[in-house]
């Protein structure tokens, strides 16, 4: 099966807030992929794909298909052009956010290896996403390893 990344139909999530109101298409299921994920995002002016974050376990790549989106990384921000490509390693050095500050729509493709379980970290909001189960936690709420665990004394050997 094949799809054209410039022509693929994208759709919005109804509950995305302003600032993150982008349309997307998940390509992997359309072409039968199993170990790699690919999504195409269309960003209206003033919108971002998702908050600043990095993945653990999943490397991500970005390629600009149309427009001039702005890429934020730990090194700062820079405007990208069509065919520009960026790599985000599965570490804090791979943190990124894509925003369309241009006047026209932007379209990008992002692909990655698919790993479960995995963790996404959101440095600006001190959140951690664990998937599965797909739950967000505040990193500041971390507890000691033994918190809530019952102390169990092993039985004594027979005398």
| Residue 34 counted as domain residue | yes
| Residue 154 counted as domain residue | no
CATH number of the domain to which 80 belongs: 2.60.120.10
| Residue 149 counted as domain residue | no
How many domains does the chain fold into?
1
In tens, the pLDDT along 46-56 reads 999 999 999 99
Instruction: Specify the pLDDT at position 104.
Output: 97
In tens, the pLDDT along 112-153 reads 998 889 899 999 999 999 999 999 999 999 989 888 887 777
Instruction: Specify the pLDDT at position 23.
Output: 97
Q: Give the global pTM.
A: 0.88
| Residue 25 counted as domain residue | yes
In tens, the pLDDT along 2-46 reads 999 999 999 999 999 999 999 999 999 999 998 999 999 999 999
Domain span at residue 55 reads 11-117
Single out the residue of 77, 81, 63 nearest to residue 6, CA to CA: 63
């Amino acid at each position: 099966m094949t799809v054209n990344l410039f022509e693929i139909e994208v759709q919005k999530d109804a509950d995305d807030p302003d600032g993150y109101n982008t349309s997307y298409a998940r390509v992997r299921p359309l072409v039968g992929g199993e170990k790699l994920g690919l999504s195409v995002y269309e960003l209206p002016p003033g919108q971002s794909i998702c908050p600043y974050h990095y993945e653990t376990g999943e490397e991500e790549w970005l390629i600009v298909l149309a427009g001039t989106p702005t890429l934020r990384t730990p090194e700062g921000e820079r405007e990208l052009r069509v065919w520009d490509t960026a790599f985000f390693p599965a570490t804090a050095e791979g943190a990124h956010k894509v925003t369309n500050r241009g006047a026209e729509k932007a379209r990008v493709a992002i692909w990655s290896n698919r790993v479960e379980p995995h963790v996404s970290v959101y440095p600006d909001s001190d959140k951690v996403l664990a998937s599965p189960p797909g739950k967000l936690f505040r990193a500041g709420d971390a507890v000691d390893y033994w918190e809530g665990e019952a102390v169990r004394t092993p039985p004594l050997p027979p005398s």
